[in-house]
Structure 1
Amino acid sequence: MAQLQRELEADAAECMWIDQVSRGLERPGRDLTGAVHTILDENNLPLRITVSSDWQLRLSVGRLDAAIMEAAGVAFADGWQRATEEVRRAMERGEKPPTPALISTAEPADERSLDEVIEDVLAMVSKKDSSAPTASMDGGDLGVPQASGRNENISFEFSEYGITSCRIDESWARRRAASRVATDINSTLIEQKDLFAFRAQQGDSRSSIVAAAEQLVGRLQRGELT
């Protein structure tokens, strides 16, 4: 069992190494027809999307959004393959996977009073509230990235691993010039990436507050605060 655990840990460390190397590469990709070209950034999200002027001919029996996902998938797979080869050569030279920074879960000794610790937690909450979005006159949220001209015909979804979905109204796209379609796609891409990053940052802030509160409750239960 111990041997199996060591092998699994080694495999996981190697995959993390490959992922780290892959994200640092330039990773272009295109769909099979050549109608769509893209390049991924360090977050596995399209940096930009290029649509060929004759995309409607190239995709006579296909969909534009599917071609975008295919191009992104090709870019990711190609980058992973090149990173795998780079890591293999590094291992042959005797290099080891980068050691991730260990996060200590031990609570440091704290001689502060209960009032002081609670004050610190409340300060974190206050800081979070002060940076939270507030309602604007037009009903929007101040601080939240806003779409300059939201296009209901285009949508993207992302996760911490990369792009997960792209939806484009095909009939809408085929009624417009390729240059206009590409402009609208990239504008929407930028806006929705900004919104995704903002929400991720808000989630990190909430996690910090919850962790601090849990630590406080734990210390109170153990009678460490007076």
Structure 2
Amino acid sequence: MNGDPFADLHQAREHILGIQRLMSDMREQVPREAGGSDPQGAVSVRLAADGLPERVTVVTDWQRRQAPEALDAAVTAAYESALRERLEGWSRSLEGTDWERRAERLDADSPFTAGATGREAESAGARPAPPEPPELDLRYVLPRRLDEVAEEMLSLFDLDAIAGPAAAEPETFTGKSAGGQVAVTVAQGSMVSCSVNPAWADGRSAVRLNQALAEALADARDRLAAGASRGPSAHQLDGLFKEAMAILADPARFAD
């Protein structure tokens, strides 16, 4: 940060958008298909593009391979196997990209990192000075009160939760089969756990088990879609940026 609020805000916005672009480009390299099974081959899992199971399948002779009380653990093991396959494929696809260089550049240019000013001074002779922030047309921007804009920023980026102990805990959603004998818990981008009532599962056909697993997974997905929080979009970020710039351009608004 260089002390100029207009330049500092523009630099922060560009840095955040740069991170979003890098993450988006990296996500594009994630294999769309991946599958895995538990070591005994009783359960297989096919991943969807969002990281959640697309399909969980129990083989016909599952009881020869797994005990009923171990069926939920087998589902988890199959899911973890599919994740490993996807991760290995992603690693191979990233080898031909420049993501590491881009990440290092973002880190070096970060306006939020302590000591960034010193690094910028050291490297000033190694690269050209950044371009001046472009002029924005703020004629049609009607900013709200400063405290309202700040409150929305806190809400979008969930900054209040960063300082709290629960910040690292993902929001989870549990879905159940029609009879409640199978439950699947998911978070954004991952399956957290699977629970199968062993007494109910004992002697059940693979067809009935697969139906119950599909019901629980579909219910969990519906709950996730209805309740999961989303990060700020580029449109939201751009709108807030323009409001903040309009406020800074009119110092009288700080007194509102």
CA–CA separation in structure 2 for the residues paired with 1:197 and 1:148: 15
Question: Distance in 2 between the 1:187 and 1:149 partners?
Answer: 5
Q: Tell whether 2:249 aligns with 1:223.
A: no
Match of 1:21 among 8, 29, 32: 29
Name the CA distance, whole Å, in 2 between partners of 1:53 and 1:196. 30
Corresponding position: 1:53 with 2:79: no
| Distance in 2 of aligned mates of 1:59 and 1:49 | 15
Task: Quickly say closer, same or farther: Cα 1:110–1:192, change in 2 above 3 A.
Answer: same
- Post-superposition shift, 1:16? 8.1
CA distance in 2, matches of 1:151, 1:206: 38
Amino acid at match of 2:180: E
Alignment RMSD: 4.3
Distance 1:15 1:148 in 2: 33
Alignment match, 1:172: 200
Residue in structure 2 matching 1:85, options 70, 92, 101: 92
Whether the 8 Å contact between 2:176 and 2:183 is mirrored in structure 1 is no
Give the drift of 1:224. Answer: 3.0
Partner of 1:42: 49
1:49 CA displacement: 0.8
- Count of residues in correspondence between the two structures: 171
1:189 maps to 2:189:
no
CA gap 1:183/1:150 in 2 versus in 1, 3 angstroms: closer
After TM superposition, the score normalised by the length of structure 1 is 0.59
Q: Which residue of 1 aligns with 2:230?
A: 204
**Partners of 1:18 and 1:84 within 8 A in 2:** no
Contact 1:156-1:189 within 8 A present in 2 as well = yes
Q: Structure 2 length as normaliser, TM-score? A: 0.53
Cα distance, 1:19 vs. partner? 5.4
Structure 1 SS opposite 2:230: helix
Residue by residue over 1:173-193, the C-alpha shift from the partner in whole angstroms, topping out at 9 and shown as x without a partner, is: 114222111111102211211
Instruction: Kindly indicate whether the alpha-carbon contact (under 8 Å) linking 1:155 and 1:188 is maintained by their aligned counterparts in 2.
Output: yes
Q: Which runs of 5+ in 1 are unaligned?
A: 1-12, 122-146
Q: Which runs of 5+ in 2 are unaligned?
A: 1-20, 107-132, 149-174
Cα distance change, pair 17–117 in 1 and its aligned pair in 2 (3 A): closer
- After superposition, give the CA deviation of every residue in 1:127-180 in whole Å (9 maximum; x if it has no partner): xxxxxxxxxxxxxxxxxxxx8974322222222241111111111111422211
Distance change >3 Å, CA 157–CA 55, structure 1 → 2: same
Seen in structure 2, the aligned counterparts of structure 1 residues 148 and 25 have a Cα distance that, compared at 3 Å, is closer
The percent identity for this pair of structures is 22
| Alpha-carbon separation, structure 1, partners of 2:23 and 2:79 | 20
CA distance in 2, matches of 1:156, 1:58: 22
Shift of 1:61: 7.4
Letter in 2 for 1:77: R
Matched, 1:153 2:181: yes
Distance 1:163-1:27 versus aligned 2 partners, 3 A rule: same
Cα gap change, 1:112 to 1:86, in 2 (>3 Å): closer
